[in-house]
């Protein structure tokens, strides 16, 4: 059974495209103008001016924090535990990775505060994601600067975005397979019915004799020419003519029926921003 006649376009993800744009982070000129213009007046979404990201926290090469898991864990629950241990380095890094942690004058409030990204920030992130769903460190840094976010935030956003994309694709694939299944079930039902009818006809020979023989389509595997033949007669009716091949006998095989050949399945582009219900 040829279930996967034509796999959904995105069933196979190219998630391993390590550095699709290895070169320095660059936007297309036109979009650059747009995004940059609005970013000048960007709403940093409750980021106090004093908490502007200090990119010196990154290492000398401008690469994001040596171990993303370190920086991430520091800013979270672990920051509670470790900050209490008086680890100055970690505390410093924590303040790096989360520019907004000590906002609200919370002082000792170590619960993670969620920063809702502004429309403009989301828009630019989406735009960037449409072009490249992964970022190299330089690109991450540049984008972070542009958005006035920490590189870690950009990194997290891209991770989450990839996860959402995949989830969406999974849903689409699931729907596709469901419809394939439905079509096969229908086809099966139809064929069973046909078999029943044929059996019934066979039981009444008189009728059977007056019937035209069942017609089957066959195809030459070499030249792919179609041949219409009757199963009860050796005289073939071939519109294109049964083609003999110099290589050998005229092997014919039935044309596989593709139950979902006409399926009107349209795959949404994954990059389309998820519309909130």
Partner DNA sequence: TATTCTCTAAAGTTTACGTCA
Partner DNA sequence: GATGACGTAAACTTTAGAGAA
Residues that bind DNA (CB under 7 A): 13, 15-16, 18, 59, 63-64, 66-69, 72-79, 97-98, 100, 111-117, 122, 134-137, 152-153, 155-160, 162-164, 166, 274, 276-277
Over the Cα atoms of the chain, what is R_g? 32
* Residue 136 beta carbon to DNA: minimum distance, rounded to whole angstroms: 7
State both tokens at 95.
Answer: 């303040």
Measured from the CB atom, the residue of 69 and 233 that comes closer to DNA is 69
Local structure of residue 204 (DSSP, 8 states)? S
**What DSSP string runs through 71-102?**
HHHHHTHHHHHHHHTT-HHHHHHHHHH-TTTT
* Residue 4 beta carbon to DNA: minimum distance, rounded to whole angstroms: 19
* Residue 241 beta carbon to DNA: minimum distance, rounded to whole angstroms: 52
Measured from the CB atom, the residue of 135 and 220 that comes closer to DNA is 135
Sheet holding 253-254, edge to edge: 226-230, 215-219, 253-254
d(C-alpha 70, C-alpha 239), whole Å = 71
* Residue 3 beta carbon to DNA: minimum distance, rounded to whole angstroms: 22
* Residue 235 beta carbon to DNA: minimum distance, rounded to whole angstroms: 58
Measured from the CB atom, the residue of 22 and 262 that comes closer to DNA is 22
Measured from the CB atom, the residue of 134 and 252 that comes closer to DNA is 134
Closest listed residue to residue 104, CA positions, set 47, 30, 180: 47
Measured from the CB atom, the residue of 155 and 227 that comes closer to DNA is 155
The DSSP H or E segment spanning 164 is helix 151-203
Rounded to 5, what percent of the chain is helix, strand, coil?
45, 5, 50
The alpha carbon torsion through 217, 221, 223, 227 (nearest 10 deg) reads: -10
* Residue 61 beta carbon to DNA: minimum distance, rounded to whole angstroms: 9
Spatial contact of 77 and 101, defined as CB atoms under 8 Å apart:
no
Determine whether 269 is exposed, middle or buried from the number of CB atoms within 10 Å of its CB (0-12, 13-18, 19+). exposed
Measured from the CB atom, the residue of 113 and 225 that comes closer to DNA is 113
């Amino acid at each position: 059974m040829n279930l996967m006649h034509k796999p959904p376009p995105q069933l196979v993800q190219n998630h391993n495209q390590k550095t699709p744009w290895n070169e320095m982070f660059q936007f297309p000129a036109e979009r650059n103008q747009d995004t940059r213009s609005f970013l000048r007046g960007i709403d940093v979404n409750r980021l106090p001016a004093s908490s502007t990201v200090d990119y010196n926290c990154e290492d000398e090469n401008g690469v994001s924090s040596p171990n993303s898991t370190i920086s991430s864990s520091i800013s979270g629950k672990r920051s509670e535990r470790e900050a209490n241990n008086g680890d100055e380095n970690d505390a410093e890094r924590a303040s790096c990775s989360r520019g907004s942690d000590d906002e609200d004058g919370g002082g000792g409030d170590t619960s993670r505060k969620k920063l809702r990204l502004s429309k403009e920030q989301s828009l630019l992130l989406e735009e960037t994601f449409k072009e490249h769903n992964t970022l190299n460190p330089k690109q991450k840094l540049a984008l972070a600067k542009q958005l006035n976010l920490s590189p870690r935030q950009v990194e997290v956003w891209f991770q989450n975005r990839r996860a959402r994309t995949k989830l969406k694709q999974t849903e689409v694939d699931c729907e596709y397979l469901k419809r394939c299944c439905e079509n096969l079930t229908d086809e099966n039902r139809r064929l069973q019915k046909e078999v029943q009818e044929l059996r019934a006809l066979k039981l009444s020979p008189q009728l059977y004799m007056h019937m035209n023989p069942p017609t089957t389509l066959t195809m030459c595997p070499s030249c792919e020419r179609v041949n219409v033949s009757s199963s009860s007669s050796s005289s073939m009716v071939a519109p294109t003519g049964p083609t003999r091949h110099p290589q050998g006998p005229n092997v014919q095989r039935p044309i596989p029926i593709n139950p979902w050949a006409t399926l009107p399945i349209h795959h949404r582009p994954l990059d389309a921003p998820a519309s909130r219900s």
